[in-house]
Structures are given as structure tokens and as C-alpha cells.
Structure 1
Amino acid sequence: MAEILWRCRGRSGAAAVCIEGMERQFDGGRHFSADGLTERLLVHRPESKSELTALLAVPEVLGALRRPTGHGIALFVISAILSRGPMQVLLDMKGGLDGGSPKLIETHNYASQELVNLLLCGCAHSQVFDGNQYLSDKRPEGGDDEDSGDGVVTEEFFDLYHGRGGGKEDDDDITVLRGIPSRCDVGFLTLFEAYEYMEVGQNLKEPRCPIWVICSESHYSVLFSPEDNVRGVLEVYYYDELGDQEEEIRLGLDPKPRKRQLTAKEAEDSTELVPPIDLVIRTRWRGAAVDWNGSEPIL
């Protein structure tokens, strides 16, 4: 948790850790109505990584984040947003092909790609390829992705961001698609790549730690390996908390199988049932065969 929040922090250099207080800290405003949690938040601002780590180890703080019946997930997400800075999070998400305003929480309360990226790489960008892509013959001068600080979202900025303040981009001819700026500690793989809807870059496919968040079948799960060398992984463990998984699922990977493995498009037209997780794995280990080692494949 400390690594994630420290990575999210904005220009001020301070992270944010939110816990739930007993008393109301502020009243509602133009863009906020009481929800029973936000108005009671207590925000701590550790200014060093060691201070942040020590704060998260305090039993009251750790308990608030990990309590099964509490608001731990919401508190941690808000902590990440405040560490990055609300205004910077909005700027991270701004732009894209449709010029719309992405959200951190999508339909059915699923985490959006922007929220996943905020937690994985520290910025709420919308894409999963490496770096930025520019839909123009020229690139913006001076860069387009610098932190603008961690200030609060003012009324003026809110109106400007949503197109009500007459604001205009510096160069309307440039559309910036913001991806993953650098190699992440934890990676990301998705079934959407197997069906060629997107392509995940190496910054997420080759994380520093052999752990990958998996987006498949409308929710998130995880693959991980005890191997130290991420490039030498030939065995992974799969865990799906939403599926109430109780058994250990250990998957063996054969990068050069004798039998050619089906692609996602080929599997659609085949009578052979291919687990979606196998298809996701092959976006990282091309053509690999997956051995479920006696576990029932999840179809």
C-alpha cells in the first residue's frame, strides 16, 4: 500500500492516507452531497516514504483499511486520488479519441482502466500501451503530461474541464492518448488483447515483480509467481476472489508446445473449449500451452 500511494503522489511530494473519523469535517457544496463517509474523512499527509510506511503500520490505520466490514477499499482509493491530486487525476483522464470525460468507476461499479492504471503506475491514464501516442503530425512542445500540482479542484477548473468555461486546448489539432509512462512493479493483462481490441505494452507485460492483474470475464483477478525473474516464469498461480475460490490453482506454462494453440478468434469457431484465462496468458506468453495441473479449468 505504501508503494502505491507513494508512487501516486503529486508535485508536493506528500502522499495522502485517509481514515474514517467520527465527526463531520465539512458541509456539502455545489458538486457534493453527503454520502456518510467522504464528509467524515481524516486526511494524513506523510512527507516521506518512511513516514508513510510507519503511518500505515499503525494498528488503527491498518485496521481501518483492512477491516472486512469497513470502508477499506473506498478509503484506499480516495487516498490514491488525494495523493495524486484531484485536479491532476482529472487531467490524466482528459482527452482521448472521443474527447469525453472518463470516470474512475464505470457501469455496475466496476473499476475503470483509469483507476486500475492509477493504482498500478501512479497516473490515471486511459491507455495500456507504453508512453503516449499523438494523433497528429506534430508533438506538443514542452510535453503534455507534466503534473500540474496537487491543488484542489476549483469551481473554475471544474467548469473548464467540463467545457462550461470557454476553455480551449493549446493545440486543438493534437489528440493525446496517454499510456503507461514507465515499467510498473505489478503488471496487467486483459482478455481484450486476446480479441485484438487493444495491445498492452511491455511496461505492464514485463513488471518488476511477477504479478499481473487480470481483466477477464467482466472482473479482475490475479496471476502471480514465486519466481524472482519475471522473464523466466513458467509456472503461475491464479486467484479469483470474486469467484470465492478456495482451492489452489497452479498453472504450468509450456512456451513451445508440440500442438499449436488456438487464438481467441479461432477458439470462437472451434468446438474445443478454451478457458479465457488461457487466452489471456497467451497475450504475455505467445503460443504457450497451459496445464491446469488437475484443477477444473474455468470456462
Structure 2
Amino acid sequence: QSLRRILFGGTFHVFNYEWRKSFFQFREPDSELSYILEADRGGARAIQMVIQARIIKFLLFSQPGSTDRSTDQDKALAAALSDSLWLAGQEERATVTLVTEDYCITPHLDYKLDDFTEKLQLFTFDRKDDVWKFILDHIQCFKAEGSHGVILFLYSIICSRTVDLSSNTSHLLHLSLGNFVCRQLQALLNLLLTGRASPHVFNGTLQFGEDGQPLERPLQGVLSRSDVGYLHWSREQVGSMLKTPRFPVWVCCINSSYSVLFSLNRSLLSDWRMEHQFQLFYCNGQNSQRSTARLTVTHSHHWEAPPAEADPEKRFPSLEMTIRTKWDGAAIDWNGTDPFY
């Protein structure tokens, strides 16, 4: 019942078909895009893309090369899921929810059965390695068709982190055009990225308003650097905690759709000389993308050269504008790919 209230604001709502069919499915192991998840267009897409970013981080920077791609896929997915759960549990504990055969609760009259939530069993761990091994042993519960894998992971996140969510008066999901979408999407994204469900993307806590007066309720932002980052071209500027993560992998919010941008060079975030010219790779999880887009970014710091004057009449792809929120004034070459987003 608590899960239902945190998600929907009451116990009578249930996940619709789009959510129930969502799981973590890779492309074919022998394909060029074997590391890519197939992402849905519905409300679960944002969650899938955060896990995609963590999968890329694991494959590029956390494990030695392997020749068995199907095994790599399972290990990477288990690592990505366990990373998020461990962060949500404040790096002290994590809870994994799985579905059993038997009903575990006796529903009340105002509770609507979904033949899924009522069968949950919770497994709690106090060592990160144990979380990863347990998820790897039960990986089919998250990646098999019909497993409700994304919902299971969302339930696991909520059970791992109850402090921010249980005290939040507004539920996470609401019904829009027949599909449940994230009501407090940024809070959920920040929970997945940083382990804290803060609703804003600036650094720290905002104590004062624009008029200089103390706010009745301080606005909570991001307090520490995340492993993978976040970029968004919007009025509310993303702070350096999210724009400069520990690894060069970013979840991008572009025109309300989610995708991933990454570099193969970890030094990009620690050596400013690497920012003169570098490669970024881009994937959006859509079936229409047949290869990873490679972009060449040329950038000069403000102390090295005067910024180029932008043509006020020229319209740039939204992906380029999103990249420039991190590298201001950068020139971007799509290397023969037709620009999109």
C-alpha cells in the first residue's frame, strides 16, 4: 500500500499496459549496438536511459574486455541496477524486490489487485557485492519479456530509499494521455543518479529567493558529484555536480526525450587540454538508430580565444545546444551523420 501511495497517491491505481510490458532488453549480442537497451516511448523510458548510462560506464571503465557479449550484457545490467540501488540505500544497504508465486498480503477493500504487487518479496543486503551477485543470479526477472522488469526495479529503488520519498507529499506518477508519466521526474532521475530524490538540478541548497528574502522551505539541489551525469537544455541551469560527473557519461533530456551521450576518454573530465577537440558518442535507444552517432567537438576555453559569434538566425539541432550547456560555444561536427534531435 505504501508503494502505491508513493507512486500514485492512492492504493486504487495500478500500472497500465505500457509500464507492465517494460523491461531491460538489449539489442542482439552480435550486433554493433549490443550494449544498447531498447527503450520504450512511455513513462519508463527515463528509467531505462539512466540504466543505459550506467551500463556504458561499466562496460567502458569498470571491467576488462571480454569476448562473450551475452555474458557482458548480463553483468553490465546487474552492475547498473545494483549501483543505483546501493546509492539509494545511502551506500549502506539495498533492497531487491522479486515476484513470488503466492500472495504475500491480504488486500483491503480500497486496494485494487494487479496480480503483481501483492506477490512481492523483499531481499535486503548490506554489502554491495551481494546485491550485484543476487541480481545477476536473478537477471531474467529484469530482462525477460513479461517480467515487469522496470516496475520491479522502481519498486526496489523505493524500498531501498524511503527517507526522501516517504516524506514527499506529492506522488511520483500521474496519468497523462492514458499513460502514467513521472510527476516528479527530476526527483526520480536525481534519485537514480545520485541516491537522493532532490527535485532540482542546481548545486547545493537554495536558502534565499530572487528577492534576497529567506525561503519558507529551502530548495534542495544536488549535493555531490554523481558517477554518471545529466545534461538538459532548459532555463534551469544544471549545476556542475551533474554536468561534471566522475565518468564521461551523461543522460540527456532533449525535447522531453531521454538519451545518452558518452566519451571513451575518462581524462576528458580531469584535464582541460583534452577539451580542445574530442569525440562524443550518442545513442537514444530507438529502433530507428542503427549505429552509434559519433560527434567531433572543438572547444576553446574563455582564456584561450574569444568566443565565436553565433549566427542569431541559424537554428541548431537540440543535441548541439544540449552539448553547449557543458562546453559553451563549441563547434560540433556530425561526421557524415544527418543531424537529429
CA displacement 1:128-160 (0-9 Å, x = unmatched): 011111137798xxxxxxxxxxxxxxxxxxxxx
SS of the equivalent of 1:78 reads helix
**How far apart, in 2, do the equivalents of 1:106 and 1:260 lie?**
45
Q: Give the share of equivalent positions with the same residue, in percent.
A: 29
SS of the equivalent of 2:266 reads coil
Query: Which residues in structure 2 correspond to 1:180-195 (within 5 Å)?
Result: 180-192=222-234
Greater relative contact order: 1 or 2 (C-alpha under 8 angstroms, separation 6 or more)?
2
* Deviation for aligned residue 1:248: 1.9
Query: Which residues in structure 2 correspond to 1:138-153 (within 5 Å)?
Result: none
CA displacement 1:248-289 (0-9 Å, x = unmatched): 2001101139983648xx4xxx2x341100000000011101
Letter in 2 for 1:120: L
In the alignment, which of 106, 126, 134 is matched to residue 27 of structure 1? 106
Query: Which residues in structure 2 correspond to 1:101-250 (within 5 Å)?
Result: 101=170, 103-104=172-173, 107=176, 108-111=179-182, 112-135=185-208, 174-192=216-234, 197-231=235-269, 232=274, 234-242=278-286, 244-250=288-294
Count of aligned positions: 245
Instruction: Report what 2:34 is aligned to.
Output: none
Instruction: Report what 1:84 is aligned to.
Output: 161
In the alignment, which of 72, 97, 104 is matched to residue 18 of structure 1? 97
Change in CA separation of 1:29 and 1:178 when aligned onto 2, cut-off 3 Å: farther
**How far apart, in 2, do the equivalents of 1:62 and 1:109 lie?**
25
SS of the equivalent of 1:208 reads coil
**How far apart, in 2, do the equivalents of 1:259 and 1:138 lie?**
36
8 Å contact from structure 2 (residues 228, 251) kept in 1 = yes
* Deviation for aligned residue 1:29: 3.8
* Deviation for aligned residue 1:218: 1.7
8 Å contact from structure 1 (residues 208, 230) kept in 2 = no
Change in CA separation of 1:133 and 1:106 when aligned onto 2, cut-off 3 Å: farther
8 Å contact from structure 2 (residues 173, 180) kept in 1 = no
Instruction: Report what 1:7 is aligned to.
Output: 87
C-alpha RMSD of matched pairs (Å): 2.6
Change in CA separation of 1:249 and 1:186 when aligned onto 2, cut-off 3 Å: same
CA displacement 1:58-110 (0-9 Å, x = unmatched): 1xx1111122442111111111111002x53143x45xxxxxx3625674434
Structure 1 residues without counterparts, runs of 5 or longer: 95-100, 140-172
8 Å contact from structure 1 (residues 104, 114) kept in 2 = no
Structure 2 residues without counterparts, runs of 5 or longer: 1-80
8 Å contact from structure 1 (residues 261, 289) kept in 2 = no
| Mapped pair 1:286 → 2:328 | yes
* Deviation for aligned residue 1:243: 5.7
Instruction: Report what 1:44 is aligned to.
Output: 123
8 Å contact from structure 2 (residues 90, 195) kept in 1 = no
Letter in 2 for 1:131: G
Change in CA separation of 1:74 and 1:81 when aligned onto 2, cut-off 3 Å: same
**How far apart, in 2, do the equivalents of 1:243 and 1:284 lie?**
28
8 Å contact from structure 1 (residues 5, 16) kept in 2 = yes
